[in-house]
Amino acid sequence: MLKTKFSNSGYLGPWAFETLGGAGGQTVFGALTTGTHGGDFRLPPIADAVEALHLVADGGNHFWIERSPNNPNRPLQLVTSDTALNQLFGAVVGAPGAPPPAFTIVRDDNTFNAVLVGAGRFGIVYSIVLRVVRQYSLHFNRSLSTWEQIKGQIANPNSGLFFQPQASPTPGGAPPCKFLQIAVCAAPQQNFTTHQCGVTKQWNVPMTIPPNASGPFGRAERVGNIVTPFDPIIGAPRFSMAGNSVPLNPNPSQPNTDQASFLNLACESASFMAGIVNTVNQDIQNFVNSNGATIGSTITTIAAVAGPGAVATLLALLLPFLAILAAILYAFETALRNGPQTLGQALNDLKSGLLDSSTNPRQQQAGLALWQAIENAVFASQQGNLDYEAISYAVHDGWNYLDRSCNVNADSIEVFFDATDPMLVAFVDKVLKFEIQQENHGNAFAGYISLRFTGQTATLLAWSNLHARAP
């Protein structure tokens, strides 16, 4: 309308949210009204990008709700006309024979901030006005470290964790980053002394188009081409890859190219773990049969988990129980091939076989070494070193829309701390200590701990309305 009626094309896209959640799989409206947050610790969460909303409350009454125009901290001064709003919405048609419902304009911060993250408590939000920015790309940097190495930096906002990576180990003049996530593997390594940790940072970069490409990296992979110019069900075009693709997985050896990760491909089939188990089983047998000379990827990972000088120890540890471990893995593989299972179900069955506390303690120790190796190998494959640039939504959205067996309903808990509170690190340490204790008693947790840092929100029903930064 601005272009055709007023000859103003300055507002033509593309546009983008300044921040998003940490994954896809939900609508923008669902994300902002339930308090979804990502890891942009220098920004408030996505809900704070809303400037006005149209609410239909119980009884059919309509409300146009905005932030207060007298709030000096408003990021945007929204200009609306009472006359125009009443002309557009004031003549709302009610039930036949009944008077039209009331239409009320409200400009009040408390009302707005209460309704915004309301999870549907106030009624149905018919429409919203969003604050957006010009489309941009993100620089994504992830490095594999250990929790024990980085946990002492969390409470210090001037530590290197909150700045872009550089050659010097101190932040110095390094530019700040925008996003921070710390993912911690629950399974220990190095003889129960350390835990793998993936540190992910992001910062804004200009949107550029690589040579011989039709758009910025990530657009073709996550959006694709238009297949339906206008779909009346969604009121917008439909694209070939939107909701029909795996997460972006850049190829480190070929910048601006995508490669399908093993796990993403595997998640398309419910029986993918049968191949993994077969490889693990063969690696163990080759290792023992060659008296430790043949070291496959499984043995390499177990040795890394166990610590220095582990190969000789492993040979002595695995040899007496090779037949038992092989039988467990073979039975597990057969079950997978005969009946589809989710990743969670498969790992739970594998854990039960390897960590059975009723068996010989030495056998349980051998099974525990194998379990920790598998857990750490999967974690490292997902949290290993990676560095690339792509369009913002392709970086933010890590959801696998082709998943058939990996991401299922699971038990989880979300806890919030001020990032400077020493109880944050103490809490994570306690969880990791509990995992070590339960692994020694035949139980295990297949998962990881994720710390995300987010800015303060103005909404009333939210987790960070009292803290400057909280994971």
Dump pLDDT digits (tens) for 175-234: 999 999 999 999 998 878 899 999 999 999 998 888 888 889 999 988 999 999 999 887
Question: Which amino acid, one-letter code, is at 233?
Answer: I
pLDDT of residue 304: 63
Handedness of CA 456, 458, 459, 461 (dihedral sign): positive
CATH number corresponding to 14-134: 3.30.465
Residue 461's pLDDT band (cuts 50, 70, 90): confident
Residue 225 φ/ψ region, left for φ over 0, alpha for ψ in the -120 to 50 degree band, beta for the rest: beta
Q: Are 47 and 459 in contact (CB under 8 A)?
A: yes
Q: What is 252-278 written as a DSSP string?
A: TTSTT-B---HHHHHTTSTTTHHHHHH
DSSP state of 166: -
What percent of the chain shows pLDDT beyond 70? 77
User: How far lies 342's CA from each of 295, 333, 346, 352, 403, in Å?
Assistant: 30, 13, 6, 16, 10
pTM for this structure?
Answer: 0.83
**Distance of alpha carbon 266 from alpha carbon 268, whole angstroms:** 5
Dump pLDDT digits (tens) for 108-159: 999 999 999 888 889 999 889 998 999 999 999 999 999 999 999 999 988 9
Q: Between the CA atoms of 328, 332, 335 and 341, what dihedral angle is there, to the nearest 10 degrees? A: 150
> Across residues 16-28, what is the average pLDDT?
81
pLDDT of residue 227: 93
**Is pLDDT at 404 greater than 90 in this prediction?**
no
Take residue 412 and report the two structure tokens written for it: 């989880």
**Distance of alpha carbon 464 from alpha carbon 471, whole angstroms:** 9
Structural domain spans, the chain: 14-134, 136-471
**Distance of alpha carbon 457 from alpha carbon 32, whole angstroms:** 11
Dump pLDDT digits (tens) for 242-281: 888 888 878 766 666 666 565 565 565 555 566 566 666 7
Pairwise pLDDT comparison (318 vs 69), residue with the higher score: 69
